Structures are given as C-alpha cells and as structure tokens.
Amino acid sequence: MSPGGNTLFSRLVAAAGPAWRSYTRHEFVLRLADGSLPEGAFRHYLIQDYLFLIHFARAWGLAVYKSETLAEMRRAQALVAATLDTEIGLHIDYCRGWGIDTVAMAQTPEALETVAYTRFVLDRGLAGDRLDLEVALAPCIVGYAEIAAESLADPATRLDGNRYKSWLDMYAGAEYQALAAAAKSALDEQFARRGGDGRFASLAAAFTAATRLEADFWQMGLAAMSC
C-alpha cells in the first residue's frame, strides 16, 4: 500500500523522506516477513509493544480531554475502549501463544526506546491540540497497516511456514485496515478544522520524529537477538 493522493497523511510521508522507508522497510520488518527474524527479537518486541499499548490507551484518553465537540469525544472514547477492551486483549492472547504471560510483561521494565516514543506522543498531545496528538500517533496506527499490506504483497515475503505470518495477517486484515483508513480520514478532518498550511511544518517535524522513534522501536527488537 502506498500513501497516495493529497491527503495530510501522504503529505506528511513525503515530508518525512527517507525516514519513512527506514521505518516501513526496517531490517526487523524485512526479517519478520521472510521468517528469518530470531525468536528472541520478536519476543522482546512483543513485550515492549504491550507496554506501549498501555500508553497508547492513555493517549486516546488525553484525546477525549483535547476534543472540542461531542462527536470528537465519542470517537476518542471508542478508541480508548477499543484499545483497552480489544487490542490489548488480542495482544495478550497473541503473546500467550508465544508462551509470554501478562505478569511477565507487566513486570518487564520499559526499554528506553519505549519510553522515548510513548512520552513523545503524550508530550505532543499535552503541549498541542488534538491534531498534534493524532499526527504523532499516525506513524504507528497507519504505518502498521501499510507495513503488513506491503509485506504480504512482496514476493520476498515467505508465506508458507513463516511463524510471523499471523502478525502480518492481523495488521493486513480488513478490521485493522479500516481502522487505519479512518485514522487517515480523521487527520484530514482535524487539519481542515485546526490546521492550515501555516501549521504544516511543525506537524511534519512531529510526524518525522515519531517515524524515527518507530524505527528505533524496531531496532530495539533487533538488539535483543541474542535473548
């Protein structure tokens, strides 16, 4: 999937330049797709991703506070509920399949890369408005959808016997793809209401920083290859 058109998201990706491909085509992603990623790297990633999701829910809680209309509040409330009741639950079930239980995840310290990324997102939301927050979240929400869809369409991806294919299927599935599409549409709506080209430079800088922090999150997983 390639970000096309003249949506805010496509403009942000273009402004991020090579940083976007460094994230979506990171070695972690490529090795996950061809099945060569060491299990220790993936396990470490899964645990840190659980810790990330806790702050992800907090970010959507902040979005409720930052909303200006009842419709915006309801959308943010729905995303809080989806994160707490569905996404975290699915992640816990997925990790259980890898022999990782909730207690072990909850007791694991946050990696510095996890701290850096989650606090950056929350800081953008606290210092700015709802648009700043959603732009900082976009590399994660939309990026995972694009990574999974692109990987499954890539001939280099190993589909048969790849223990990580279920991860790709999860983010390439219709439910998550619809969530990512809604997130892109919401960016355009927020930009029309709160934006204007005078804000684009600061939004692009935040998006690029979040994209680099996402790439660092993948690199954190690779650093655990000896686990």
DSSP per residue, 89-123: HHHHHHHHHTT--HHHHHHSPPPHHHHHHHHHHHH
Q: Distance between CA 110 and CA 203 in Å, rounded? A: 27
Q: What pLDDT is recorded for position 225?
A: 67
Q: Given pLDDT bands bounded at 50, 70 and 90, which one contains residue 83? A: confident
Q: Which residue has the tokens 């939004």?
A: 203
User: Quick one: average pLDDT of 75-96?
Assistant: 89
**Maximal C-alpha separation, the chain:** 50
Q: Given pLDDT bands bounded at 50, 70 and 90, which one contains residue 82? A: confident
Distances 163 to 28, 39, 53, 97 between C-alpha atoms, Å? 14, 9, 23, 11
User: Quick one: average pLDDT of 184-199?
Assistant: 91
Q: Distance between CA 49 and CA 157 in Å, rounded? A: 23
Nearest by Cα to 144 from 53, 59, 74: 53
> Could you give all domains of the chain from N- to C-terminal order, each with its CATH number?
8-223 (1.20.910.10)
Q: Do residues 132 and 8 touch, judged by C-beta distance below 8 A?
A: no
- 32-77 pLDDT per residue, tens: 999 999 999 999 999 999 999 999 999 999 999 999 999 999 999 9
- 126-172 pLDDT per residue, tens: 999 999 999 999 999 999 999 999 999 999 999 999 999 999 999 99
Q: How far apart are the first and last CA of the chain?
A: 33
Q: Do residues 210 and 121 touch, judged by C-beta distance below 8 A?
A: yes
pTM of the model: 0.92
- 2-38 pLDDT per residue, tens: 445 689 999 999 999 999 999 999 999 999 999 999 9
Q: Do residues 139 and 76 touch, judged by C-beta distance below 8 A?
A: no
> Which tokens is 48 given?
């840190």
